[in-house]
Chain A
């Protein structure tokens, strides 16, 4: 199969899950639970397999497919829609398919009343993610962004018996849709100036546009994607939705959906705007927003007592780090980011699945409730406790799990670029978030520490969360196995010696704008030769990784035993007042979120323009 043929087959990656969903839609009523589940999982596996074939082919040439055969030829120009598959977009599809398989296995016994709804929505969700990842056209991106959204809102609210799930779904739905409409306004502004929607075409036209147009077009266009990526101050919906969505859905949200938001922003920026006069401003925007997001996410993470909400804030913090790395713009840093992202998706998935098991086994995801009840004995649930502990340590960066490797690669590259603060920044953020997760595990599984009555305790507890399914005394294998599988993937990300090299090449191809334009508009799909290789674990990276694990341990112990600190330190704690304010800002009220959206857009425009 040639790359050109493979390109024309790209749309099948979207048609396939839609076909599966159509089958479930038409026949779902008459299918037994097992069969509906089987159709869903077979479809996702086929999709993953096809994406893997595409991934391997995309190593040699970009895959470009013109829908309906509307290839641009000479005078006629671009009228059709292009799908572009490179290793980054196809890799994201692989991650999505892998996580959905894990989520479907985990949910084997869920939703026994009307299972085909859940499964069909999962397939629609996959179709949306695939379409968004492959689209080479800003309006097509909007359409599949909305498909992803609609499926995600429904999946969040699946547990209609639970009012907080519904509220999470409505906040998520309104804020994300608003973001999407702002993106559409951006599309309209850009269309007005250029008469083009194709990204490659825009890449050629946009450098001739005026500054104000570029600022408005860019900020609005990426607004929706930044909302999806939960970048401060657009992040409010994320913890509302993650805290209440069914566990298998959270795995997808945290592992790949929000990352796709970042991917959208990065793709549009790189192809469309990086050769305009906006480049420096956009760099500044990504950097500042990334730093703020990471810091705020980490702080809020530490203040939570609801395990799922805590994990949600840790995701926000990690997305902040991702955005900061994206700002750097070198292939080595992006390569590290890819390794980091894969391992993070696997670990976050394993952690959310653990939270789901804790919920279904002990009827709460609240640290203090579980601590008070002391029903959890790590002995009886040893496998669960160990999974949780390894995943938490992996999040801190413990070798040989991939997160540590990815972070080390990225921070080395950033340091070489002159950002000497990068290693410290990453150590602090991962120590805070992983420390919080470890603390949570220590309280839940080991029963360490005392129940608090200060700000941490004021946070919403995880007691209101309804039980998803009765599991009785023993966590079933169908729930434990996917978590273990994801954990294994995170190890693989760190241990596959070739991965950093492959990732760096992926990154170099992602950054090669001229190559993208030539592939889409002129059919020259080959890559320029790229000899670079990237190292795997080095002594230095092992040491920084261990350092951040140590720091996470310190954070964990400090927050467990804060009461035993010397009195002046405890009382003086100057951070508590701002923490309270932060806490209050996360009000769960949709009106506030709309206000923050406006402020964020204005702020972003100012940052880009100055």
Chain B
């Protein structure tokens, strides 16, 4: 049971990859890519969890001796989220242009790169 959250994170990453492999639509593929990345958030946050820990923000309830969850992985996750937004928007822009040029976003029908 104590490894379950890690397994969930990793499973989300793999599900995203499976989605890309089986994708019939580039928009779907890009969304699967960000699903895959959300798996990394889950994994990072799971890694930083401390049972009984509270949010790492000093104040009336949190002092230096209070047990808190790991702020580092949260910071990494935040960075990761912005990266994901940037990459997703970039790739969606490409898909949008493909749709306009080719009238399809099905990878199986876009065959110009073969060979």
Contact = CB atoms under 8 A, between A and B. Distances in A.
Contacts of A178: 17, 20, 33, 36
Contacts of A169: 94
Given A181-B40, A458-B115, A587-B114, A167 B98 contact: yes
Interface in B66-115: 72-73, 76, 79-80, 83, 86-87, 90-91, 94-95, 97-98, 101-102, 107-108, 110-115
A361 B44 CA distance: 52
B23 A243 contact: no
A170 B112 CA distance: 13
Q: How big is the A interface, by class? A: 35 or more
B37 A139 contact: no
Nearest to A305: B115
Contacts of B102: 163
A125 to B, nearest CB: 13
B64 to A, nearest CB: 14
Q: How big is the B interface, by class? A: 35 or more
Contacts, number: 132
Contacts of B73: 188, 191
Contacts of A464: 112
Contacts of B86: 146, 150
Contacts of A72: none
Contact of B17 (A164, A243, A598): A598
Given A146-B87, A590-B20, A170 B115 contact: no
Contact of A583 (B26, B36, B94, B115): B115
Given A146-B83, A166-B98, A597 B17 contact: yes
Given A188-B47, A464-B112, A590-B23, A170 B91 contact: yes
B21 interface: yes
B87 A177 contact: yes
A160 interface: yes
Nearest to A149: B87
A164 B87 contact: no
Interface in A169-191: 169-171, 173-174, 177-178, 181-182, 184-185, 187-188, 191
Contacts of A244: 113
B87 A586 contact: no
Contact of A588 (B26, B33, B97, B111): B111
A166 B44 contact: no
Interface in A557-610: 583, 586-592, 594-595, 597-598
A466 B21 CA distance: 30
B90 A166 contact: no
Interface in A109-147: 139, 143, 146
Nearest to A598: B17
A459 B98 contact: no
A153 interface: yes
B98 A591 contact: no
Contacts of A139: 76, 79
Interface of A: 139, 143, 146, 149-150, 153-154, 157, 160-161, 163-164, 166-171, 173-174, 177-178, 181-182, 184-185, 187-188, 191-192, 240, 243-244, 304, 458-460, 464, 583, 586-592, 594-595, 597-598
18 contacts: A143-B79, A153-B87, A153-B91, A163-B112, A177-B91, A178-B17, A181-B37, A188-B47, A191-B73, A304-B115, A459-B115, A464-B112, A587-B114, A588-B114, A590-B29, A592-B21, A594-B20, A595-B21
